[in-house]
């Protein structure tokens, strides 16, 4: 990481099957983030179509260049920042993928897919095969989607490939915000500390019009697993500044940066250059 980066985590609603309403919420979050100088804005998992444990996700799925996905990607150009948004991606070989799309102001669009699907999702969603490292000038990051956070090798693979930060977009409807934060704080500090990366998580917010309630939450941790800012328990935008100097301080410490001592090879990542 060669420079400081301001990121935003927008815990916003994602109403099932109402992409127009969801696009409006995404647009408002991007406008607010841009006004605050955010360079990379992460929206929740499935922020475009909404979340469902049903065949509804197949109906809502579209290709990467589909009409709503194209409009979501255009938010990056409209507001002048990188936007990470969630969609259901059509899969010619079967059930749809859950994808997180990285769109840049210059029109570049790249995506990664959820690797592991939980047992309740498996009848409706396909899993992918590998994580993706996204590369911007002076800053690289990965995306680990919701249930994938419970598989440590994904984060380690991204860190070995050069990730400075890992975003964790969620669509997790269980518990309230405090309980959700407690759950994340059992997992995400370890991902940060073990791999020497910033970990940044955001959940959908509120009722999705189908009886599922998503506790609003955004959380940013430094490379030692410590909070960068107070966790947000209400819908809206959390902004955090990622310091290159602070990350270098961790990675230059012989007893706080463990990856150089790793002896077991992790599976490779795919690479996606964004600029």
pLDDT of residue 35: 98
Q: Where are the alpha helices (DSSP H) in the chain?
A: 19-35, 56-60, 67-79, 152-161, 177-195, 244-251
136-189 pLDDT per residue, tens: 999 999 999 999 999 999 999 999 999 999 999 999 998 999 999 999 999 999
Q: What's the pLDDT at 259?
A: 85
Assess whether pLDDT exceeds 90 at residue 112. yes
Predicted structure pTM score: 0.96
- Evaluate if residue 256 carries a pLDDT over 90: no
Categorize the per-residue pLDDT at 273 as very low, low, confident or very high, splitting at 50, 70 and 90.
Answer: very high
Q: How confident is the model over 116-128, as pLDDT tens digits? A: 999 999 999 999 9
Distance CA 147, CA 116 (A): 7
pLDDT at 262: 84
Interhelix angle 67-79/19-35, rounded to 10 degrees, is 10
pLDDT at 254: 83
- Tell me the CATH number for domain 5-273: 3.60.110.10
pLDDT by residue (tens digit) across 42-99? 999 999 999 999 999 999 999 999 999 999 999 999 999 999 999 999 999 999 999 9
CA distances from 24 to 19, 52, 57, 110 (A): 8, 20, 20, 22
195-250 pLDDT tens trace: 999 999 999 999 998 889 999 999 999 999 999 999 999 999 999 999 999 999 99
The stretch 263-274 carries a mean pLDDT of 89
Where are the domains positioned within the chain?
Answer: 5-273
pLDDT at 228: 96
């Amino acid at each position: 990481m060669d420079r400081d980066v301001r990121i935003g985590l927008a815990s916003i609603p994602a109403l099932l099957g109402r992409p127009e309403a969801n696009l409006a919420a995404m647009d408002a979050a991007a406008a607010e983030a841009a006004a605050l100088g955010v360079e990379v804005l992460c929206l929740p998992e499935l922020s475009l179509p909404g979340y469902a444990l049903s065949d509804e996700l197949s109906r809502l799925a579209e290709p990467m260049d589909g009409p709503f996905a194209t409009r979501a990607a255009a938010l990056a150009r409209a507001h002048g920042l990188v936007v990470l948004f969630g969609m259901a991606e059509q899969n010619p070989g079967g059930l749809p993928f859950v994808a997180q799309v990285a769109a840049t102001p210059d029109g570049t669009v790249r995506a990664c897919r959820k690797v592991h699907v939980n047992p309740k999702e498996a009848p409706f969603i396909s899993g992918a095969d590998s994580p993706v490292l996204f590369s911007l000038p002076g800053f690289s990051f990965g995306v680990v989607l919701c249930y994938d956070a419970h598989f440590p090798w994904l984060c380690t693979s991204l860190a070995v490939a050069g990730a400075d930060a890992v975003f964790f977009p969620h669509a997790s409807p269980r518990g309230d915000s405090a309980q959700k934060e407690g759950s994340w704080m059992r997992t995400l500090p370890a991902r940060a500390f073990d791999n020497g990366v910033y970990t940044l998580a955001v959940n959908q917010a509120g009722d999705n019009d189908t009886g599922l309630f998503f506790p609003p939450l955004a959380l940013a941790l430094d490379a030692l697993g410590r909070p960068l800012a107070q966790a947000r328990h209400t819908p809206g935008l959390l902004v955090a500044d990622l310091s290159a100097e602070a990350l270098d301080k961790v990675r230059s410490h012989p007893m706080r940066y463990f990856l150089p001592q790793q002896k077991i090879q992790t599976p490779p990542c795919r690479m996606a250059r964004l600029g």
